[in-house]
Amino acid sequence: MKKIILSVLALGICSFTFAQKKKVQFEVGINYPLGFGEDANKENRVGIYFNGTRNFSESPLSVKLRLSYESYTVVMNQYANSPFNGRSLSLIPSLNYNFPMSEKSSFYAGLGAGISADNMDAGVFNEGCETHFVVAPQIGAEFFRHLNLSAQYNITQKDFCRLMFSVGYVF
């Protein structure tokens, strides 16, 4: 009986500890980019991303730095609307506003601005690499303090804009 009571007590203490939002969080996950247009989904592939987040204890604001790699379809109008496989490496800092719903879930919305290295050939930094300024509005939800679901729209040069859906694990 003592073992059961001690086990329940230990689980309660652990769940209380994990319910606290950490000041610094790291996240790793996968993303799926969606382009727009008739041929925009022909060559999309799953990418990866890393996030570092700094939460402010007395404020609903947080600062996030996102490094992501995507492989998506680029439809170049100057080449008779032919689809090309674009690759991108993005570094985007953002400011988010958090809406805590309960101890186990919270929602956020934010805006980021950064740079994106885009290429239509093999690899990102090979011949043909272009660097673009990116503005990225984003929304997301964090469940159980470890599962993050988000959507981010990278607004950049016309042919390289894309919407990304992400699923990640928060440390």
For residue range 2-19, what is the model confidence (pLDDT) as tens digits?
A: 566 555 555 444 444 334
Report pTM.
0.79
Of 2.40.160.20, 1.10.1500.10, 3.30.230.10, 2.40.10.340, which CATH number belongs to 23-170?
2.40.160.20
Q: Percent of the chain scored above 70 by pLDDT?
A: 75
* All structural domains of the chain with their residue ranges: 23-170
| pLDDT top residue among 74 and 58 | 58
User: CA–CA distance from 83 to each of 70, 137, 149 (Å)?
Assistant: 16, 25, 29
Mean pLDDT (the chain, rounded): 82
Q: Which SS3 state, helix, strand or coil, does residue 18 take?
A: helix
53: phi then psi, degrees, rounded to nearest 5: -125, 135
Better-scored residue on pLDDT, 52 or 40: 52
